[in-house]
Amino acid sequence: MVYEITRDYIRTGNSRSGQRIGTVRFIVSHDTGNPGSTAYGNRNYFDRQQPSASAHAFIDDKYILEIIPLTEKAWHVRSNVTGDNRRYGVNANDAAIGVELCHGGKINFQQAYARYVWYHAYLCDKFNLNPRNDIIAHATLDPSRRTDPINVLRNHGISWSVFIDDVAEALQNFGNSNPPDTTTPAKPPTTSKPPASVVKGTTVKLPIGEGDSGPFVQDIQEELIKAGYRLPRYGADGHFGEETENAVMRFQKDYGLAVDGLVGPITLNKLQEVNHQRVSASDFPLPTGVLKRGSQGEAVRQVQRALKQINFNPGTIDGIYGPNTEDAVRRFQSMYAALADDGIYGPNTRKYMRMELDD
Render 28-52 in DSSP notation, one character per residue: EEEE-SSTT--HHHHHHHHHHH--S
What domain range includes position 241?
Answer: 215-275
Mark whether 259 and 153 lie in a shared domain: no
CB-based contact 267:288 (threshold 8 Å) = no
Provide the pLDDT for residue 177: 39
Provide the pLDDT for residue 219: 76
Identify whether 197 is part of a domain: no
Identify whether 280 is part of a domain: no
Mark whether 157 and 250 lie in a shared domain: no
Mark whether 17 and 95 lie in a shared domain: yes
Identify whether 111 is part of a domain: yes
Mark whether 307 and 262 lie in a shared domain: no
Domain termination residue (choose one: 260, 275, 290)? 275
Domains held by the chain: number: 3
Taking the C-alpha atoms of residue 272 and residue 282, their distance in angstroms, rounded to an integer, is 23
CATH number of the domain that residue 15 is part of: 3.40.80.10
Provide the pLDDT for residue 195: 31
Provide the pLDDT for residue 205: 65
Provide the pLDDT for residue 175: 60
Identify whether 205 is part of a domain: no
Mark whether 149 and 222 lie in a shared domain: no
Mark whether 166 and 75 lie in a shared domain: yes
Give pTM, 2 decimals. 0.58
Identify whether 347 is part of a domain: yes
| pLDDT tens digits along 99-154 | 999 998 888 999 999 999 999 999 999 999 999 999 999 989 988 888 899 989 98
Identify whether 333 is part of a domain: yes
Taking the C-alpha atoms of residue 359 and residue 348, their distance in angstroms, rounded to an integer, is 17
Identify whether 26 is part of a domain: yes
Provide the pLDDT for residue 359: 58
Mark whether 137 and 56 lie in a shared domain: yes
Mark whether 267 and 127 lie in a shared domain: no
Mark whether 159 and 222 lie in a shared domain: no
Identify whether 161 is part of a domain: yes
Tell me which residues of the chain have a pLDDT lower than 50. Answer: 176-203, 278-280
Mark whether 66 and 105 lie in a shared domain: yes
Taking the C-alpha atoms of residue 82 and residue 91, their distance in angstroms, rounded to an integer, is 8
Provide the pLDDT for residue 277: 55
Mark whether 162 and 48 lie in a shared domain: yes
Q: Could you tell me which residues are beta bridge partners of residue 59? A: 64, 101
Domain termination residue (choose one: 108, 140, 171)? 171
